[in-house]
């Protein structure tokens, strides 16, 4: 077993991620040759670091790749089950919060929580397929496609067009939820632009003066509220909050600063109107064989569904906050605190007479804790016990391969091309929404992995670089839609690069070169 760091992310708690780890260490064997033997997660100073048994991850990834490339039935089953299990999960969540929650007993609330975890685990079982294929360790599907496509392009005499054509052929033809929100928001911006009171309205928007907007323009403010309700889960990520009016006003301000609102909207819509035609032209120009066409279709569909299923997870987290808030109220703790307890602990606290014990324990757990998961069984430690055990596990089990690759003399970082192009700029490490404000126009956004809650920063950045992921990652999807250079799957970018470094992103070669260090 090789226990290796796969992701760092700020602003995450034990819930809901532990449910995913229960799935990958137990349930996934229903569709894979093995489970992941062990998961180790540390949360310290608001930073969550994940370590996974990557030997098992690689074995599962190779199995999924072989199955999906050879078996249309398995591929169709994966897609069908992601959609159907997500529908079942979200229907359950909506039905649950539609009840009179305040009158529910401890047992009734716990029953909802338990059923939710079961349904989420069912969805997660199928939902693990795209991210494991896409690069928990290596982007297996990306590597396979790049190798085959590179050989074909060389044989046809188009090696200089490989990155450009690959980016187009592997793109989804379906509009993502992120782009759906942007189109709706730009339509809202166009409505504001056409209003005879535009100058007054835009002044309040730029000042983020919610109170004045609500009072002076009530009809418009209702449209703002409708927008945040419709797309609230998009910025929720794993721990919230959902989209706020303040976030919307900040985003609208950026839209107006870029100018040509109608042009912005048209460019997005044209991308999806034209992508199918662009693919057909490329396929004809390079005589792409049918088996490679199928593999690109598979990749594009997995790209879309990987992002879509993440949206389904986030919608369920947002809905379940209503239940967790009520459970927290019964325990006399906060919503954040209950997310540092797993289901069995919540149950013990509520009906096992251990409420005071867990309430005291949370004071340590919120500062520093870790958990391990093996065969679907989770163990959580905090405080001094956490520190001692963490050192022991690091000493015995955790690979230092990734850390060892980062040294003071490193001059470049290599990854995979998600969208071809070139950019030069200042590095900004973005691990959470709190980092968004430090990103200026033209900066290079570097992240362990991007999510929709980082879109404000991504719109300003000239290029994206990530530690994890392949052509199906969120960064890859957004880079294609925004047509910005993107290098993914570097493994070490957030550790090798620092805020303020001057770099060039050569997204034709998949290389980020350090020009000047801070």
Contacts of 369 (CB under 8 A, 6+ apart): 14, 42, 43, 44, 340, 380, 381, 382, 386
Check residues 401 and 332 and name the one with the higher pLDDT. Answer: 332
130-134, 153-157, 397-401: range with highest mean pLDDT: 153-157
Closest CA to 123 of 16, 240, 243: 16
Q: Looking at residue 13, what is its pLDDT?
A: 94
CA dist 439 and 288 (Å) reads: 40
CB 444 within 8 A of CB 427: yes
pLDDT, tens only, 84-101? 999 999 999 999 999 999
CB 117 within 8 A of CB 110: no
Q: How many Cβ atoms are within 10 Å of 284's Cβ, its own excluded?
A: 9
Q: Looking at residue 403, what is its pLDDT?
A: 45
Query: Is the CATH number of domain 412-516 3.50.30.10?
Result: yes
**Crossing angle of helices 245-258/177-193, nearest 10°?**
70
pLDDT, tens only, 276-292? 999 999 999 999 999 99
CB 336 within 8 A of CB 13: yes
CA dist 318 and 239 (Å) reads: 9
pLDDT, tens only, 210-248? 999 999 999 999 999 999 999 999 999 888 889 999 999
Kindly state the percentage of the chain with pLDDT values over 90.
70
- Per-residue HEC secondary structure of 280-330 comes to HHHHHHCCCCHHHHHHHHHHHHHHHHHHHHHHHHHHHHHHHHHHHHHHHHH
Domain ranges across the chain? 3-134+305-396, 177-270, 412-516
pLDDT, tens only, 420-445? 899 999 999 998 888 898 999 999 99
Q: State the pLDDT confidence band at 481, using cuts at 50, 70 and 90.
A: confident
| Phi (first) and psi of residue 361, to 5 degrees | -60, -35
What is the β-pairing status of strands 502-506 and 422-429? antiparallel
Q: Does position 128 have pLDDT exceeding 90, yes or no?
A: yes
CB 237 within 8 A of CB 314: yes
pLDDT, tens only, 359-416? 999 999 999 999 999 999 999 999 777 777 667 666 655 554 444 456 667 899 999 8
For 497, the 3-state DSSP assignment is: coil
Q: Does position 39 have pLDDT exceeding 80, yes or no?
A: yes
CA dist 306 and 259 (Å) reads: 32
CA dist 407 and 377 (Å) reads: 37
Mean pLDDT, the chain, as a whole number?
A: 91
Q: Does position 146 have pLDDT exceeding 70, yes or no?
A: yes
Q: Looking at residue 408, what is its pLDDT?
A: 67
Closest CA to 344 of 313, 371, 312, 310: 371
Q: Does position 46 have pLDDT exceeding 90, yes or no?
A: no
Closest CA to 310 of 176, 179, 192: 176
């Amino acid at each position: 077993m090789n226990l290796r760091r796969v992701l760092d992310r700020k602003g995450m708690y034990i819930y809901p991620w532990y449910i995913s780890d229960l799935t990958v260490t137990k349930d996934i064997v229903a569709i894979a040759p093995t489970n992941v033997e062990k998961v180790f997660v540390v949360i310290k100073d608001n930073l969550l670091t994940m370590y996974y048994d990557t030997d098992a991850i690689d074995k599962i990834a190779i199995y999924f790749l072989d199955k999906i490339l050879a078996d249309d039935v398995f591929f169709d089953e994966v897609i069908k089950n992601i959609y159907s299990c997500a529908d079942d999960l979200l229907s359950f969540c909506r039905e649950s919060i539609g009840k009179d929650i305040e009158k529910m007993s401890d047992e009734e609330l716990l029953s909802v929580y338990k059923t939710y975890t079961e349904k989420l685990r069912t969805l997660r079982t199928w939902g693990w397929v795209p991210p494991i294929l896409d690069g928990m360790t290596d982007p297996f599907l990306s590597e396979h496609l790049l190798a085959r496509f590179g050989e074909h392009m060389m044989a046809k005499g188009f090696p200089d067009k490989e990155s450009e054509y690959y980016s187009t052929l592997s793109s989804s033809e379906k509009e993502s939820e992120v782009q759906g929100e942007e189109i709706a928001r730009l339509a809202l911006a166009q409505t504001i632009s056409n209003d005879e009171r535009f100058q007054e309205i835009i002044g309040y928007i730029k000042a983020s003066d919610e109170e004045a907007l609500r009072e002076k323009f009530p009809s418009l403010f209702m449209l703002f509220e409708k927008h945040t309700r419709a797309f609230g889960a998009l910025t929720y990520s794993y721990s919230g909050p959902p989209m706020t009016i303040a976030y919307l006003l900040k985003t609208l301000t950026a839209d107006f600063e870029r100018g040509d609102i109608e042009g912005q909207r048209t460019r997005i819509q044209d991308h999806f109107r034209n992508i199918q035609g662009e693919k057909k032209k490329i396929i004809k120009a390079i005589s792409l064989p049918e088996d490679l066409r199928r593999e690109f279709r598979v990749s594009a569909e997995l790209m879309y569904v990987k992002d879509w299923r993440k949206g389904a997870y986030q919608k369920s987290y947002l809905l379940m906050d209503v239940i967790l808030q009520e459970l927290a109220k019964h325990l006399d703790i906060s919503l954040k605190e209950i997310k540092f307890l797993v289901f069995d602990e919540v149950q013990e606290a509520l009906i096992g007479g251990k409420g005071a014990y867990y309430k005291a324990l949370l004071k340590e757990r919120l500062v520093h804790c870790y958990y391990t998961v093996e065969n679907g069984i989770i163990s959580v430690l905090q405080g001094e016990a956490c520190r001692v055990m963490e050192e022991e596990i690091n000493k015995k089990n955790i690979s230092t391969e990734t850390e060892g690759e980062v040294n003071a003399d490193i001059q470049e970082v290599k990854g995979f091309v998600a969208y071809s192009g070139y950019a030069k700029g200042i590095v900004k490490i973005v691990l959470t929404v709190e980092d968004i404000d430090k990103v200026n126009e033209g900066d290079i956004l570097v992240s362990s992995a991007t999510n929709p809650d980082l879109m404000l920063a991504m719109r300003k950045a000239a290029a994206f670089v990530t530690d994890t992921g392949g052509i199906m990652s969120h960064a890859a999807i957004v880079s294609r839609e925004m047509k910005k250079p993107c290098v993914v799957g570097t493994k070490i970018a957030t550790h090798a690069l620092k805020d303020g470094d001057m770099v060039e992103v050569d997204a034709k070669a998949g290389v980020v070169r350090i020009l000047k260090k801070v």
